[in-house]
A and B are shown apart, each in its own frame.
Chain A
Amino acid sequence: MGSMMPYLRNIALAAFVLSASVLAATAQTPLPEAVAAPGETVVLTLHAEGAQIYECKAAADGKLAWAFREPTATLLLDGKTVGHHYAGPNWEHIDSSAVVGKAVGNAPGATADDIPWLKLTVTSGRGTGILSGVTTVQRINTTGGKLEGACDKAGSYRNAPYSADYVFLRKN
């Protein structure tokens, strides 16, 4: 019986280590399939703080409702402002490299107030720098930015604050 104890303890330890490594693997690949970019490599991840801007417009049913117009955000890395995100959607780095993307996949945010996670394919680039050669942009870890419902005056604006992380990837 006594000789079994270290053996059992090793099994328990092994099981613990195994579950920890499974958790670690999960933490590295928690992206929903719709926004995943298998086979691509992360070039850079930037934090965004800003707003999603909405415009009051007549919807298909003729009623006035808030419609998404464009994003405006500052891009941060290690406490420094390193770029801007704006209509296009454009991402511009201070080294002058920039990309424009187009949404190709989305997944719900963590709560109903959070804008969806996105996968965007880069459709054009300009300048030369860290964003050159980027093929995919992911918008993850979204907080806020959502606005829905009726509005009163066509052409008026409202902006909803948001934060997110943008992951820039390139094909291997």
Chain B
Amino acid sequence: MSFSKSISLAALLLIGSLVNATAQTALPEAIAAPGETAILTLHAEGAQVYECKSGGDGTLTWAFREPIATLFQDGKTVGRHYAGPNWEFSDGSAVVAQVAGTAPGMVANDIPLLKLTVTSRRGNGVLSPATTVQRINTAGGRLTGACYKAGTYESVPYSADYVFLRKG
């Protein structure tokens, strides 16, 4: 009896650790960063700003223009995210990155999950070693469809988590 109990316990522990491992690697392949280590994860609250523009077929549609968001950590405002896209930390370190992979958000209104490769950096601080940025856990921020006046803007609220990773 105690032997089979131990086996069930071992099985339970094994399943537990598998679930745990799955939770850590739940990211879609297109935005995964195998071999990289997370430095920092920041929560973002803000808006995706769209501009009414003439599309390829001449009709006016909402086109994504730029993000604007505050970056939070443990209830404190620690940085900003804006056009570039730039991420700026309060210690003066900042990175600019370029999209290298995307995966759909949870629902149709959610902007996609992203993997971005850092293309430039400035300042010296916690973001300095970052080589990859992931945008995950997106909520909102999406806008598609027709608009009526070229040059008008529309801000769509969104939140997300940005994970900053370094090689190795």
Report which A residues bind B (CB closer than 8 A). Answer: 47, 49-51, 53, 70, 72-74, 76, 79, 81, 84, 86-87, 144, 155, 157-163
Contacts and interface: CB of A to CB of B under 8 A. Distances in A.
B75 interface: yes
B44 to A, nearest CB: 9
Interface of B: 43, 45-47, 49, 51, 66, 68-70, 72, 75, 77, 80, 82-83, 151, 153-159
A87 B157 CA distance: 17
Contacts, number: 73
A74 B75 contact: no
B75 A81 contact: no
14 contacts: A47-B153, A50-B155, A51-B68, A51-B157, A74-B66, A74-B83, A87-B77, A144-B155, A157-B45, A158-B45, A159-B45, A159-B47, A160-B157, A163-B153
Contacts of A162: 155
Contacts of B151: 79
Nearest to A74: B68
A70 B158 CA distance: 15
For B69, B83, B151, which residue has the most chain A Cβ atoms within 10 angstroms? B69
A50 B77 contact: no
A72 B80 contact: yes
A76 B152 CA distance: 11
Nearest to B67: A74
A50 B80 contact: no
Given A50-B68, A84-B82, A72 B47 contact: yes
Given A81-B83, A84-B80, A72 B153 contact: no
A72 B49 contact: no
A159 B72 contact: no
For A51, A86, A144, A157, which residue has the most chain B Cβ atoms within 10 angstroms? A51
Contacts of A86: 70, 80
Contacts of B66: 74, 81
B137 to A, nearest CB: 13
A64 to B, nearest CB: 15
A161 B153 CA distance: 11
